[in-house]
Amino acid sequence: MFETLDPVPAEIANAISDGISAFNESAEIRREAFAIIWRENGRLLGGITASVSFSVLFIGNLWVAQSQRLGGTGTKLMAAAEEEGRRRAAVTACVDTLSTQAPAFYPKLGYVEFGRIGGRAEGRPVDRIWFRKELSAA
């Protein structure tokens, strides 16, 4: 029997993720996940989640507190993730974003668009955009 779950319970999301991880491990496909965060006086002001597999650094989420935006924190977090990716033998980096977020940010860091798909949100067009960057040796 098929079911639609909305919202998705955490235990279901974890079970699906764990199942994929177990399969990948059995097929010797490694995925090394990590996060880099920025704290000041114990307060979390930004962070990035990422993973490396297939020699590719996959950027998951990049977040900077509203009060800290446009101050270079996002650029520093991306640089730190790229460096960690290189340390883990990544030769390419990949990230996706929405046209409603900050798509101009990634080209400034040397990323090149390689894919785009259009959609709609609340009646307005929204694109999902994928970027990649070749990582030079550390």
Q: What's the CA gap between 37 and 48, in Å, rounded?
A: 6
Buried b (16+ CB within 10 A) or exposed e, 74-101: beebbeebbebbbebebeebbbbbebee
Question: Considering the entire predicted model, what is its pTM?
Answer: 0.81
The pLDDT of residue 87 is 96
Is the pLDDT at 102 greater than 70? The verdict is yes
Cβ-based neighbour number of residue 48 at 10 Å:
23
Of all residues in the chain, the percent with pLDDT exceeding 70 is 96
The pLDDT of residue 68 is 86
When pLDDT is averaged across residues 3-32 and rounded to a whole number, the result is: 84
